[in-house]
């Protein structure tokens, strides 16, 4: 087993597993691991798996569920040589697993009829290195501006903001205070690096340098981040979920505690199901410094390098990511299909609620920055929230975060 560096990342996710072993009737069993946002996601996956098994009667797919610490479980199983044959992998985590050689290169399995060029290039590139394809992206989402239609109408705002200056002005109008207590904030904010990287880039800042050391504390990087701090501390028109007693950014928006927020397509089914009376729309993230920006998240199916049933594992990956399998999966609307033909065929680009997410794929920043990103993210998150709460100035916080991350990166090399 090749050495794998372990990091501690907790993600409240569900887990499916698929392990391959031979049976007495020449049937093999493979394992698929992944998470799910809600029960409907699991039902759709089960449907596609049943269709796969019907067309491949010699292959049995086994599925397990684990409630949390998805990547910690995957890493532990990879180290123990008992990892699943096929599993979900976020672009964020891909560089580390590729570096340590625990993923099977898929080039030799991919045939022309699979139509690899049908995938959005930026999504596929997130799982490529040195010409090798290590994962097939199953779906993606960007961030878009969610806004409460009723709240905007009541505030006399006729259209969603298109620039950050407009957003800041709108947030002031949308912040409602009664008897010294804010009943509704104009904007919801998530002070974490996955939501702030495009803010760092808005004025020409960079998350990492050529050697994958943190470089977000530059003057250009700070200029974008300061916009978030100012709205929260100076304007007092933005709130974290914890400020309003909510468990998540999506919940605070659904409850009407914030009138606007940036969120992913995964929030749409949740909001519709949990808050059926909420009237909301989406728009592209407002321009900052006359630049269009957003984050781009994607997840791929990857194959364990140690799988003993690689042909069967590839058949499963191929079935799940061909046009038919992807179309079935994408019906839920938690994320968007990564095949351009399926995306167009399902007319997501013409659906007003989803089209801003589709547009964002053209200019979004992939949530990925080399194998040092987990270290950088932890350090950034700890210090950025401190600046948000006014415990230290933003430049000091980001300098401290950058120095701490780079010291850890240096010591690990």
Mean pLDDT split into 10-residue runs, the chain, 413 residues: 39 39 69 82 86 96 81 93 95 95 97 95 95 96 98 97 98 95 97 96 96 96 98 98 96 98 94 96 98 96 96 97 88 85 94 96 94 95 97 98 97 87
Query: For residue 408, what are the CA distances in angstroms to 3, 380, 405?
Result: 19, 13, 5
Tokens of 222: 């700070």
Tokens of 307: 């799988």
What is the pLDDT, as a whole number, of residue 24?
44
Q: Which helix (H) or strand (E) holds 402?
A: helix 394-412
Residue 378: what are its φ and ψ, rounded to 5°? -60, -45
What is the pLDDT, as a whole number, of residue 67?
62
What is the pLDDT, as a whole number, of residue 39?
72
Partners of 287 in beta bridges: 163
| Domains of the chain and any CATH numbers | 18-141+297-366 (3.40.190.10), 143-295 (3.40.190.10)
What is the pLDDT, as a whole number, of residue 20?
42
What is the pLDDT, as a whole number, of residue 41?
76
What is the pLDDT, as a whole number, of residue 76?
94
What letters, b where the CB count within 10 A reaches 16 and e where it falls short, cover 361-388? bebbbbbbbbbbbbbbbbbbbebbebbb
């Amino acid at each position: 087993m090749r050495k794998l560096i372990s990091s501690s990342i907790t993600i409240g996710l569900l887990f499916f597993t698929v392990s391959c072993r031979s049976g007495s009737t020449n049937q093999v069993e493979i394992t698929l691991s992944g998470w799910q946002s809600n029960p409907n996601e699991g039902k759709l996956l089960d449907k596609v798996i049943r269709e796969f098994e019907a067309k491949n009667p010699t292959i049995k797919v086994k599925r397990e569920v684990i409630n949390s610490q998805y990547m910690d479980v995957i890493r532990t199983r990879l180290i123990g040589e008992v990892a699943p044959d096929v599993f979900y992998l976020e672009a964020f985590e891909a560089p580390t697993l590729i570096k340590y050689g625990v993923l099977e290169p898929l080039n030799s399995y991919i045939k022309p009829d699979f139509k690899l060029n049908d995938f959005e290039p930026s999504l596929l590139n997130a799982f490529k290195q040195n010409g090798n394809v290590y994962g097939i992206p199953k779906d993606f989402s960007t961030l878009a501006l969610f806004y409460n239609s009723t709240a905007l109408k009541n505030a006399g705002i006729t259209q969603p903001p298109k620039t950050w200056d407009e957003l800041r002005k709108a947030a002031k109008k949308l912040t409602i205070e009664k008897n010294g207590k804010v009943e509704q904030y104009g904007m919801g904010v998530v002070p974490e690096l996955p939501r702030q990287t495009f803010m760092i880039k808005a004025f020409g800042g960079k998350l990492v340098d050529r050697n994958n050391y943190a470089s977000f504390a530059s003057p250009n990087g700070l200029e974008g981040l300061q916009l978030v701090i100012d709205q929260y501390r100076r304007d007092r028109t933005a709130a974290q979920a914890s400020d309003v007693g909510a468990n998540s950014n999506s919940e605070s928006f659904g409850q009407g505690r914030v009138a606007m927020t940036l969120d992913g397509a995964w929030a749409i089914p949740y909001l519709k199901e949990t808050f059926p009376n909420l009237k909301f729309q989406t728009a592209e993230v407002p321009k900052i410094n006359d630049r269009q920006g957003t984050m781009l998240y994607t997840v791929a199916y990857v194959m364990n390098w140690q799988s003993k049933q690689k042909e069967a594992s590839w058949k499963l990956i191929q079935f799940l990511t061909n046009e038919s399998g992807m179309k079935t999966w994408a019906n839920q609307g938690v994320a968007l299909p990564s095949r351009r033909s399926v995306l167009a065929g399902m007319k997501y680009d013409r659906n007003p609620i989803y089209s801003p997410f589709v547009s964002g794929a053209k200019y979004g920043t992939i949530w990925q920055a080399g194998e040092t990103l987990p270290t950088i993210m932890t350090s950034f998150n700890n210090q950025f929230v401190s600046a948000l709460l006014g415990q230290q100035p933003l430049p000091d916080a980001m300098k401290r975060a950058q120095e701490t991350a780079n010291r850890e990166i240096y010591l690990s090399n």
